[in-house]
Structure formats: structure tokens, C-alpha cells
Amino acid sequence: MKSKILAVLLLISILMNIYLIQAQPSSKDLLEMKDKINQLEINNSEMSKQIYRDNLSIQNYASQLDLYREKIAGLEGKINNTPSGLSGAAKLEAPAVMQKVDYIEDYPFVRQQITEIGSMMNISVEIKPGKGRVLVDTKPLMGVVFQDAANTAAYTAQKKTGKDLSGSDIIFSIDATYEVPSVDGPSAGALMTLLVVGGLNNLELRKDMTMTGTIDKDGHVGEIGGVIEKAKAAKDSGKNLILLPGRTAGSFNILKRQEIIMELLS
């Protein structure tokens, strides 16, 4: 009986070994399996990298979205808070030192002679609803000479009056007989500031008065040159009062000293 059992067990063992031997993969199968595993690892690495990139993209998009939301909120706030445009106008004559060019025949040549003379120019300002721009229109063409003075005048007038000009355009018009040299352009700054303040407050400015002097963003009036020529031009045009920076007036003894104080503009 035992011998029969042992014989059966031996037979089963032989059959199992035969099956396992037959089921064992070949070297080719092993190589294919390794290639598949390697490819899966590569695919997994690529997918991990793609997921990382996608996560970064999502974070960037979220950050950009937040930024755009902030910008939209800021623009909406500006739109809601932008004051209605202000209106006003004022004008005065301003003294300036002009450059007169004469051509003199000196046979066989023609030479150019430049003479600096005092003259008056008309300066006016118009304030109207707009986009907060400061514009300068000049005749003859010399807008660059006055643009900085115009910007400073608008800023100083806004600071002095406390009125928001972000919803208004300020348009200066300057009409001169001759071209004003760049070195003398800033001397109209104080008068341009006075015009903006007068226009905003609907002030009636004296037509027999004029003013000359530079202006800075703190409202300080600075010295100017050509005071004698400017004073003569103002007198010849019928002006009874010319306002000068204090130091400049002190160097010109036929004029009464007048310290220009920005509080007088309010």
C-alpha cells in the first residue's frame, strides 16, 4: 500500500516538474519583459514630469487670474471714483524775452543777427472734462519749451486747490510774436499756475497785471532772467503791475519789491 502511495506521489512530482520546466519563460521572453518594464518606467517618469508641469501651469494660471481680478477691481474702483470733469478758463499776457532774427546784407555775404527783445505773449488755459491730460498749443510752434512748465503748473494748481484733475484736461494756448528760446520758457510757469488756479476757482484776474517766474512742484517761485526787457514790454503794453520773484525784484530798483507767495493764489 505504501509503495503505491509513494509511486503516486513520485508520479505527481515528476508531472509538476515537467510543467514548471515547460512554463518557465525563455531568455527572449525575459528580455521582452525587461523592455516592457523599462518602457513603463520611462512612461511613468514622463507622466510624472507632465503632471508636475501641469500643476505649475495651473498655479500660474491661478496667479494670473488673481492678478487680473485685482486689476479689474482696481479699474472698477477708478471708474467709480473718478470725479466728474471740472471746467474753467482764464487768460493773461505774460512778458518774455523773444529772439528776433534779422538778416543783414554785407556784400558779398548775408549774415544772421539775433536780437533778444522783450515782448508780450498771450497765454490762456481751458479746463474741461477729459482724461487728465495737460496739452500745450503754441504759435509759433514751440510746445517743447512750455510742456514741462505746463505739467508743473497743473500739478501745483491741483495741490494748491485740493481739486482732483484726473478727470479733466488742461489745455494751454500760447500766442507769441516771436519764438521764445528754451531757456526762457520756464519763466511762464508761475503765471500758468495762476491761470489754472483762477480757472478752477472762477477768479476774475486783473487785465492790467502780469507775472513772471518759474514754478516748482512745491509751489516755490524761482528767479528769472531778462527782467529789464520784460518790465519794459509790460509797461509798453499798458500793464500797471508786474509780479516778480522776490530776489529778482530786489535786483531791479525801479520796481516795487513783491515777494510772490502761493497763498495769494487762493
Give the model's confidence band at 209: pLDDT under 50 very low, under 70 low, under 90 confident, else very high. Answer: very high
The predicted structure's pLDDT at residue 189? 92
Q: Which of 180, 165, 88 is nearest to 130 (CA)?
A: 165
Burial tier of 95 (Cβ tally within 10 Å: 0-12, 13-18, 19+): buried
Supply the DSSP string of 43-87, one letter for each residue: HHHHHHHHHHHHHHHHHHHHHHHHHHHHHHHHHHHHHHHPPPPP-
pLDDT in tens, 51-95: 776 776 676 666 667 666 766 766 655 665 556 779 999 999 999
pLDDT in tens, 166-203: 889 999 999 988 777 655 568 899 999 999 999 999 99
**Domains defined along the chain, listed by start:** 88-265 (3.30.230.10)
